[in-house]
């Protein structure tokens, strides 16, 4: 049994690559359309992964918009590639990049062999039976739609009403009877050749281009008007289900056992965030055909099992998202997240990175880097991907930053998760975390001299958290002084933003979480004043930078360990001690030089800080095997 798969995709190229590899591994052929709107990076990655293979073809790309002709055009482009490749399959299985097999490849081939010549497509006579749940049905083809029903809804409704008032109802093209149904089908190649011939007619294309959601109308109508009803099984072989809120259910890891019990061959939509899902389903796909085969009324029939589960959890599993439910429009999934997590927020990436190194000493905690950097996602331990997201998945993250953060926390429920946030990044994320009752906040007010040195390298530091002091030393003192005066206003505004976020937290969190705040001020321009606070903002004051370079980070670590549960270990590994000591020594040297350069440019620090007092001996910490804190 020769099967070609048509796969339409627009995101998650690594998951798409997994799906295509799985289908090709069973000896099938695949035609892929990758949405032109999704850019070239993912598409080029996919092409490179299958370069030189004759069993995969890439269709001419178009920009696909929901509910418009473009999705039908993308499908036809894939069918054209199958024809040009000369594959001449027995069947073509139409699916998306969010689908995945849930039964064995052998069983699929055996099933289609037993039903050779049958067409698997849902086709309801649209003029005689109701299929659409909520929304227009007959109007989809009786009137013209020049505007998108979802993204341009007001215009679409206005022109629909105008046509009705003017009596501009139209007849169906070629006098065909309209049929409507699910877009997911499995059709024989001869039938599709006939459909493709019809699709090349100008009058047919012109008519369907102005229908609403033509992917639920085009193939259904052309197939059901050409193929005898006795050869049509009107149930798709792909499982898809909806929530009470009329959005597709996303099947996660906890539903894999349910999926492989269902009498379907593929399912959609599969969550891309846990690779274990695909590992389990690949085992099913590669297994020999089971003795229990699908036939008759059993095939493609949704069991009552999920309906029971749906009714029991129609308001969601506690702490888990309910897709489609009208929750809080701002917090989204974060509002339902019950797992503890934390945010380390500050003004200097160097200091944030030191905090991350110290937090990483706990095996019961994971602290990501700049997951909200505008150009990349920085995961813990520089992992290339995490929870289904990749380092370059900026567009996917920006679809919903709150849901992205919730997905990262849920990916490791047994581990306390956190992330770094430089003030100014992440949009509203910092304010959301401040408003929600459970997440902890580790606030680093920071040394303005370090933040200033970073700003001289650009406002969007990369992932290393290092300062190029050679670059700064090449700048004339007068230029440094001018830049410093400009910088101070921005720095003060960001400090005020931190004050505002802490104030929000005090109003929202204290009743729910007794210990949620660890706050430190490392400001050498204010006599090295440092304070570390827990719930209340009472401060322990330590004067003298030369004496407190090391101790301030020890104090911060102790406080952070009390805020976060599980606590940090009582010792810092020797490698981390040496690394942090080296970083602090370099910062101290650079800061001393910077203060002198600013003084040469006419800048007098408000506190009259004397750079001669900046020296300190860090060797005692760096040489210890373990430093007790």
- Work out the angle between the directed axes of helices 477-508 and 574-600 (0-180°, nearest 10): 130
Q: How far, in Å, CA of 459 to CA of 349, rounded?
A: 11
**Phi/psi at 321 (5° precision):** -75, 155
Contacts of 209 (CB under 8 A, 6+ apart): 69
Q: What pLDDT is stored for residue 128 in this prediction?
A: 93
Count other Cβ atoms within 10 Å, centred on residue 483: 17
Task: With beta carbons less than 8 A apart as the criterion, state whether 368 and 419 touch.
Answer: yes
Mean pLDDT of all residues in the chain?
Answer: 84
β-pairing, 119-120 vs 124-125, is unpaired
Q: How far, in Å, CA of 61 to CA of 35, rounded?
A: 6
pLDDT exceeds 80 at position 78: yes
pLDDT exceeds 60 at position 585: yes
Count other Cβ atoms within 10 Å, centred on residue 413: 10
| H or E element at residue 52 | none
Tokens read off for 575: 């490698």
Tokens read off for 179: 């049929």
Q: How far, in Å, CA of 419 to CA of 336, rounded?
A: 19
How much of the chain exceeds pLDDT 90, in percent?
A: 50
> How many helices (H) does the chain have, and how many strands (E)?
22, 22
Considering 272-276, 328-332, 435-439, the range whose residues carry the highest mean pLDDT is 435-439
Q: What is the mean pLDDT of residues 80-93?
A: 97
Task: With beta carbons less than 8 A apart as the criterion, state whether 71 and 24 touch.
Answer: no
What does the radius of gyration of the chain's CA atoms come to, in whole angstroms?
30
Q: How far, in Å, CA of 228 to CA of 242, rounded?
A: 30
Q: What pLDDT is stored for residue 315 in this prediction?
A: 58
pLDDT tens for residues 116-135?
999 999 999 999 999 988 78
Burial class (CB in 10 A: 0-12, 13-18, 19+), 586: middle
**Phi/psi at 453 (5° precision):** -60, -40
Q: Which 3-state string (H, E, C) describes 256-313?
A: HHHHHCCCCCEECCECCCCHHHHHHHHHHHHCCCCCCCCCHHHCCCCCHHHHHHHHHC
Nearest CA to 79 among 183, 184, 3, 193? 193
Burial class (CB in 10 A: 0-12, 13-18, 19+), 289: middle
Nearest CA to 100 among 233, 304, 277? 277
pLDDT tens for residues 17-44?
999 999 999 999 999 999 999 989 889 9
β-pairing, 56-58 vs 29-34, is parallel
Provide the β-strand partners of residue 57.
Answer: 31
Q: What pLDDT is stored for residue 547 in this prediction?
A: 32
Q: What pLDDT is stored for residue 624 in this prediction?
A: 31
pLDDT tens for residues 236-293?
999 988 776 667 888 888 889 989 988 999 999 998 878 899 999 999 999 987 655 6
| Greater pLDDT, 353 or 574 | 353
86: left (phi over 0), alpha (psi -120 to 50) or beta: left
Q: What pLDDT is stored for residue 244 in this prediction?
A: 67
Tokens read off for 286: 């590669």
Tokens read off for 398: 């920006």
- Comparing 306-310, 398-402, 577-581, 588-592, which segment has the lowest mean pLDDT? 306-310
pLDDT tens for residues 487-545?
988 998 998 999 899 889 888 887 777 788 888 776 654 433 333 333 333 333 322 22
Is the backbone peptide bond immediately before 97 cis, with ω within 30 degrees of 0?
Answer: no
Order of all β-strands in the sheet with 341-346: 365-368, 416-422, 341-346, 440-444, 517-520, 532-533
| Greater pLDDT, 537 or 454 | 454
| H or E element at residue 421 | strand 416-422
| H or E element at residue 626 | strand 626-628
């Amino acid at each position: 049994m020769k099967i070609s798969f048509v796969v339409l995709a627009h995101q998650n190229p690594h998951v798409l690559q997994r799906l295509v590899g799985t289908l090709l591994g069973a000896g099938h052929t695949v035609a892929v359309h990758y949405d032109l709107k999704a850019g070239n990076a993912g598409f080029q990655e996919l092409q490179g992964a299958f370069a030189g293979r004759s069993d995969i073809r890439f269709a001419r790309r178009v920009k696909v918009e929901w509910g418009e002709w473009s999705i039908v055009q993308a499908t036809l482009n894939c069918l054209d590639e199958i024809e040009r490749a000369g594959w001449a399959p027995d069947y073509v299985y139409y699916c998306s990049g969010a689908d995945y097999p849930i039964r064995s490849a052998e069983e699929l081939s055996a099933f289609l062999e037993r039903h050779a010549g049958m067409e698997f497509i849902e086709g309801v006579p649209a003029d005689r039976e109701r299929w659409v749940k909520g929304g227009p049905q007959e109007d989809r083809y009786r009137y013209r739609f020049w505007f998108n029903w979802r993204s341009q809804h007001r215009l679409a409704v206005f022109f629909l009403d105008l046509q009705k008032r003017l009596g501009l109802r139209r007849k169906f093209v070629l006098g065909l009877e309209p049929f409507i149904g699910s877009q997911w089908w499995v059709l024989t190649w001869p039938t599709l050749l006939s459909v493709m011939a019809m699709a090349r007619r100008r009058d047919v294309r012109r008519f369907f281009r102005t229908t609403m959601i033509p992917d639920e109308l085009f193939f259904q109508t052309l197939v059901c008007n050409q193929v005898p009803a006795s050869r049509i099984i009107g149930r798709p072989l792909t499982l898809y289900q909806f929530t009470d809120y009329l959005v597709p259910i996303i099947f996660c890891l906890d539903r894999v056992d349910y999926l492989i019990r269902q009498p379907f061959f593929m399912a959609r939509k599969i969550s891309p965030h846990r690779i274990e899902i695909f590992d389990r389903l690949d085992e099913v796909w590669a297994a020999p055909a089971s003795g229990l085969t699908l036939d008759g009324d059993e095939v493609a029939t949704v069991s009552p099992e999920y309906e029971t589960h749906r009714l029991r959890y129609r308001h969601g599993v506690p702490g888990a998202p309910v897709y489609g439910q009208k929750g809080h429009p701002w917090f989204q999934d974060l509002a339902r997240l019950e797992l503890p997590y934390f945010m380390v927020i500050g003004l200097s990436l160097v200091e944030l990175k030191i905090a991350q190194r110290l937090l990483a000493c706990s095996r019961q905690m994971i602290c990501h880097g700049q997951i909200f950097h505008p150009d990349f996602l920085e995961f813990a331990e520089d992992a290339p991907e995490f929870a289904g997201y990749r380092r370059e998945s900026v567009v996917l993250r920006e679809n919903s930053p709150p849901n992205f953060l919730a997905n990262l926390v849920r990916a490791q429920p047994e581990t306390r998760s956190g992330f770094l946030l430089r003030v100014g990044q992440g949009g509203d994320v910092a304010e959301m975390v401040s408003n929600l009752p459970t997440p902890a906040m580790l606030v680093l007010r920071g040394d303005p001299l370090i933040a200033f040195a970073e700003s001289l390298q650009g406002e969007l530091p990369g992932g290393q958290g290092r300062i190029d002091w050679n670059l700064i030393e090449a700048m004339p003192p007068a230029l440094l002084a001018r830049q410093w005066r400009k910088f101070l206003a921005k720095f003060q505004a960001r400090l005020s933003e931190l004050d505002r976020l802490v104030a929000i937290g005090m109003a929202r969190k204290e009743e729910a979480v007794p210990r949620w705040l660890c706050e430190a001020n490392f400001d050498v321009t204010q006599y090295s004043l440092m304070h570390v606070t827990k719930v209340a903002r009472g401060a322990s004051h330590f004067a003298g930078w030369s004496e407190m370079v090391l101790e301030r980070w020890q104090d911060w670590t102790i406080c952070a360990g009390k805020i976060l549960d599980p606590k940090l270990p009582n010792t810092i590994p020797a490698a981390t001690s040496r690394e942090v000591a080296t970083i602090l020594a370099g910062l101290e040297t650079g800061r001393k030089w910077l203060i002198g350069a600013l003084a040469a440019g006419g800048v007098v620090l408000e506190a009259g800080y004397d750079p001669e007092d900046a020296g300190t001996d860090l060797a005692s910490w760096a040489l210890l095997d373990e430093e007790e804190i």
